Each structure stands twice: as structure tokens, then as C-alpha cells.
Amino acid sequence: MGQRVPERAGRLGGRVGHAVFWVAIWTLALAGLLYLLLPTLIIVLASFTAGEYITFPPRGLSLRWFARLMALEEVRTSAWRSLIVATAATAVAVVLGVAAAFPLVRSRFAGREALNAFLMSPLILPSLVYGLAGLMFVSAIGVPLSVPVLVLSHVAIIVPYVIRTTAASLALLDPHLEEAARSLGANAWKTFLRVILPNLLPGIATGAAFAFISSFDNLTVSLFLAGPRVETLPIRLFAMINFDLDPAAAAISAVLVLITFAVVLLAHWAVGLTRVVRL
């Protein structure tokens, strides 16, 4: 490297430097880890408070705010609506995304890279800009805001997840398996159903799970495109927190975190988190 290698003086300084280096690295890393973890943990724990408003540590433990959630009509309605929207959007996204993954992995054609980038672009475009654009588009063509409109706008921003995980799974699929099936007489459709699909399912499931949670959690796009008549859970939560720091909001948050937790577990069980990171 062209450095003069420090000799004896370096050795002792080296050991101290070594320790300092690792202490610094570990301190920053642990700080980062705590920084990542604590807020989520705190809001979940705070939701179990028995008191009138949110503090951390919570004043006494109780499930009263979760019970209150059940009683709040608006919360139940918006949660159900979010569920419908997320399920429908995920279903459409899976159909579109799984299909799109095949040519992206298996075919060679001019512009494949560009097409891939295009299909992934909703991931990097600010959802704020997309929400605004969507609202302008929808009002220009004279369509009133409704659940289907919201579903379709969510599809646009979640389909990249499905494409990505399906493509990754597909790329890892041994083409010999298909050849073997074909040579044994299976037609294209049967091969797809019996050989390809089962091996793709973990990837598709992971993509679908990420797509679902992204839709369920989404606030920014929904703020523009849902409208007061189509209130989703994040919108209701946003309003609750902005108008009143209600512990019921913490209970809703805890439930949302639980769902997210389940999604991450699913992803790990399906493809392993280390694979997810490489997407």
C-alpha cells in the first residue's frame, strides 16, 4: 500500500489502537441497534398502560386500551377497510408481479434492464409525489374517490416487492428441474403448476407479505387518494394522534407492530432473512 510499516513503537500503540478501534465500532453499532429497536419497543410497552395518558414507563399495566379499541366503531371500520384494501391490492399485485417476473428472469431481450428499472421505479419515487399525481389523475378523468381507486393506487406502489422476490426465487430455480419434468411428458402448464410454482411459493409469499404490509401501513398515498369516506386505519390513527394523544392510539400501534412482526417472521421462515437482505 506504500505505507511505511510502523515497527516497535507501532506494536504497543497498535494494541491500544486496536482496542480503541473495536470499542468505537462496538459502541456505535450497539447504539445503532438500540436506536433501531427502542422506539418500537417503547410504544408497544406504553400501550399496556393503566393510566389516562401515555408515558414511558407505563403507569401500571392493563389491557384497557385494547378493550377500548374494540368499542371504537371508527377503529373497527377503518381496520376492516384497510384489510380489504391490502388484500385486494396484494392479490392484484401478485398476479401482475409473478407474471412479470418470468420474462425478466428467463428472457433475454433488448431493454430488459430498462424495463426492470421501470417496474422497480415506484420503490424510489416519493410516495408523496405519487399520491399527489394520483389525485390529479383521478380527478382529471372524473372518477370519484373510492375503495377500488385506492386499491389500484396501492397496487402500483407494492407490485415491485412481488416482482423482486419472485424474480429472485425464480433466478435460483434449477432449470434442470423443468427440463426433467418436460422430458417426462408434462406440458408447459403442468410444469408451471407442479414444478415451478411450489418452488416459487416462498419467494412469492415473502413478496406478497411485504406488499400486504406496505399497503396496510400506507398513509401518504392514502391521505391523498382515500378521501373522508374511505378512511383506512393509518388515516384514523394519524388523526387520533394529531388531535389527541390517546393511549388507544398506542394500542392500535401495538397491534400494527404485531402484524409487522408476523410478516418478518413469515419472511424468515419462507426464504430466510439473510436472503431478503440481498434483494
Residues 27-86 close enough to bind another protein by CB under 8 A:
28-29, 31-33, 35-40, 42-43, 46, 52-56, 74, 77, 80-81, 84-85
Q: Which grid cell is 253?
A: 400501534
- Considering the complex, state which of residue 63 and residue 262 has its C-beta at the smaller distance from another protein: 262
Residue 140 or 184: the one with the smaller Cβ distance to another protein is: 140
Among 231, 248, 251, 270, binds another protein (CB under 8 A): 231
* Between 67 and 118, CB nearer to another protein: 118
| CA–CA gap between residue 54 and residue 247 (Å, rounded) | 6
Helix segments in 47-146, DSSP class H = 64-71, 73-106, 112-120, 127-140
Q: Considering only residues 97 through 126, tell me which ones interact with another protein, judged by CB under 8 A.
A: 97, 99-100, 102-104, 106-109, 115, 118-119, 121-122, 124-126
Instruction: Kindly state whether residue 173 participates in binding another protein, applying the rule CB under 8 A.
Output: no
* CB nearer to another protein: pick between 14 and 174: 14
Q: Which of 59, 146, 199, 201 binds another protein (CB under 8 A)?
A: 146
Residue number, 125 or 177, with CB nearest to another protein: 125
| Closest distance to another protein from the beta carbon of 14 (Å) | 5
Q: What are phi and psi of 51, to 5 degrees?
A: -85, -175
Q: Applying CB under 8 A, which part among 60-68, 170-178, 198-206, 215-223 lies near another protein?
A: 215-223
Binding flag, residue 9, another protein (CB under 8 A):
no
Binding residue (CB under 8 A) for another protein from 69, 75, 151, 200? 151
What's the CA gap between 58 and 177, in Å, rounded? 56
Q: How far apart are CA 272 and CA 212, in angstroms?
A: 18
Contact status: 186 vs another protein (CB under 8 A): no
Residue 173 Cβ vs another protein, minimum distance, rounded to whole Å:
14
Q: Is 205 in the site for another protein (CB under 8 A)?
A: no
Selected from 75, 158, 168, 250, the binder of another protein by CB under 8 A is 250
> What DSSP element (H or E) covers 262?
helix 247-270
Look at residues 237, 228, 116, 101 and name the one whose alpha carbon lies nearest to residue 169: 101
**Grid cell locating 120:** 422497480
Q: How far is CA 147 from the centre of its chain?
A: 21
Alpha-carbon gap, residue 59 to 41, rounded angstroms: 16
Quick check: 84 and 216 in contact, CB under 8 A? no
Binding segment for another protein among 59-67, 173-181, 199-207, 239-247 (CB under 8 A)?
239-247
Q: Alpha-carbon distance 190 to 182, whole Å?
A: 9
CB 54 within 8 A of CB 250: yes
Tell me whether residue 39 or residue 60 sits nearer to another protein (CB atom): 39
Query: Should residue 197 be labelled a site residue for another protein when binding is judged by CB under 8 A?
Result: no
Which bin fits 168, alpha (ψ -120 to 50), beta or left (φ > 0)?
alpha
Least distance in Å: CB of 35 to another protein? Answer: 5
**175 touches another protein by CB under 8 A:** no
Contact of 111 with 174, CB cutoff 8 Å = no
